[in-house]
């Protein structure tokens, strides 16, 4: 049913200031590829929704350019941008039937009745809401209302689809189901899509690429696996991933093809598999390791730890460890025998370690 080709969206040196003396948001260079599902993620107040609203035309950038398909659209009013937006509040018209909600925008644009009906039939089949067309919003569930809101957006064949935390009002089970259905739907319609969320799990499971934002600044852009395995900064390392990455402050010494990390009660030798990059010096750093990259040995290990708490989470357990340098969390198989007050010898996977500069928090490009 979709007729238009996917649109490339570009933000170039875009800023937004809410005060004359304060630059709140800076998006230096961001390109959303045609047909891509790109997620803006970050804590509340970081600027992700404002960035989306600038793409929609609901907010005017203080400087910089926003382009659709190479065409600058800064001065194009929102009604002429051919964007569709689904909000956290689905904003359905309560007095209208589902079928009337779906075709409301088409009717306002003067689309003939026959064509409106064809589009309603197409989108209702796509979203499996054919049986709801004669009902009103109060007569359907939250998940069904979300489908109707999505249908009202995509029925217009938009160049860009904007989703502002559309799953946040759903319960946990329905959110999981709708994550998969949203991705499937986006692949079917092939529309360039920007998704905003503060939920890192939604970002990791749904996105082609993720943009991590902190305090109005882009911290990292990349595929979910890249963001997770090679975070650019301490902020990205701790924000993306649940449980978050474990961080240990210490010192490194680089000698030939080996790096030695040391801190209280711990001394770890790490082979370097590539040349030492320029600027990599001995001194204080932060070591980062994901919970699943901590293993336990009966006889030996990198450091001892006492088990404080064990959380059962289905197929896995989260093991909270007390070490000489603070608390850490390990992720283990549900069948691994462990209980509070156990003492374990912990080993870190050398190939999965991350190192960050102590002052800036930026990732050090060490080939481990």
Q: How far apart are CA 329 and CA 319, in angstroms?
A: 6
Assign residue 14 a region: left if phi > 0, alpha if psi is -120 to 50, beta otherwise? beta
Same-domain status, 70 and 185: yes
Domain CATH number, residue 228: 3.40.50.300
Confidence (pLDDT) at 279: 58
Same-domain status, 225 and 281: no
On whether the CB atoms of residues 318 and 291 are closer than 8 A, the answer is yes
Q: How far apart are CA 329 and CA 326, in angstroms?
A: 10
Same-domain status, 218 and 266: no
Same-domain status, 208 and 257: no
Q: How far apart are CA 64 and CA 30, in angstroms?
A: 12
Whether 178 is covered by a domain: the verdict is yes
Q: Is the pLDDT of residue 127 over 90?
A: no
Confidence (pLDDT) at 366: 78
Name the pairing type of β-strands 316-323 and 303-312: antiparallel
Domain CATH number, residue 280: 2.40.50.140
Q: How far apart are CA 214 and CA 90, in angstroms?
A: 27
Number of domains the chain is built from: 2
| Listed residues 238, 255, 284: the one ending a domain | 238
Nearest residue to 52 (alpha-carbon basis) of 96, 5, 14, 4? 14
Whether 367 is covered by a domain: the verdict is no
| pTM for the whole structure | 0.90
Nearest residue to 247 (alpha-carbon basis) of 285, 288, 303? 288
Helix spans in 40-189 (H)? 48-56, 98-108, 113-126, 142-154, 172-189
Q: Is the pLDDT of residue 274 over 90?
A: no
Q: Is the pLDDT of residue 75 over 60?
A: yes
DSSP symbol at 363: B
Residue-wise pLDDT for 1-55, tens only, equals 555 678 999 999 999 998 776 778 999 999 999 999 999 999 988 999 999 999 9
On whether the CB atoms of residues 303 and 287 are closer than 8 A, the answer is no
Q: Can you give the residue range of the structural domain that contains 304?
A: 243-357
| Listed residues 238, 255, 279: the one ending a domain | 238
């Amino acid at each position: 049913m979709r007729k238009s080709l996917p649109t490339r969206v570009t933000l170039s040196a875009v800023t937004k200031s809410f005060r004359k003396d304060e630059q709140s948001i800076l998006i230096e260079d961001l390109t959303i590829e045609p047909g891509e599902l790109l997620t803006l993620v970050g804590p509340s107040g970081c600027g992700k929704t404002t960035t989306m609203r600038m793409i929609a035309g609901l907010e005017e950038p203080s400087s910089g350019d926003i382009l659709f398909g190479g065409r600058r659209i800064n001065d194009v009013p929102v009604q002429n941008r051919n964007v569709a937006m689904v909000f956290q509040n689905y904003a359905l018209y309560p007095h209208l039937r589902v079928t009337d909600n779906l075709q409301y925008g088409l009717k306002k644009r003067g689309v003939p009745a026959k064509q409106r009906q064809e589009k309603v039939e197409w989108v209702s089949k796509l979203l499996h809401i054919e049986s709801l067309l004669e009902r009103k919003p109060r007569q359907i569930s939250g998940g069904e209302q979300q489908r109707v809101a999505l249908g009202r957006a995509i029925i217009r064949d938009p160049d860009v689809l904007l989703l502002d935390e559309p799953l946040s009002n759903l319960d946990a089970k329905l959110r999981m189901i709708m994550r998969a259905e949203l991705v499937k739907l986006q692949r079917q319609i092939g529309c360039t899509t920007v998704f905003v969320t503060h939920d890192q799990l939604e970002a990791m499971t749904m996105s082609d690429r993720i943009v991590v934002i902190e305090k109005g600044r882009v911290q990292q852009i990349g595929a979910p696996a890249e963001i997770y395995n090679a975070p650019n900064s301490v902020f990205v390392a701790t924000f993306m991933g649940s449980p978050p990455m474990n961080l240990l402050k210490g010192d490194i010494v680089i000698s030939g093809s080996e790096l030695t990390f040391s801190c209280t009660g711990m001394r770890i030798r790490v082979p370097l598999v590539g040349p030492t990059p320029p600027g990599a010096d001995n001194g204080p750093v932060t070591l980062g390791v994901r919970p699943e990259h901590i293993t336990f040995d009966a006889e030996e290990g990198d450091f001892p730890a006492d088990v404080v708490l064990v959380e059962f989470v289905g197929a896995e357990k989260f093991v909270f460890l007390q070490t000489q340098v603070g608390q850490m969390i390990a992720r283990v198989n549900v069948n691994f025998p462990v209980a509070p007050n156990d003492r374990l010898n912990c080993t870190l996977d050398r190939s999965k370690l991350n190192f960050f500069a102590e002052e800036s928090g930026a990732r050090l490009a060490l080939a481990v």
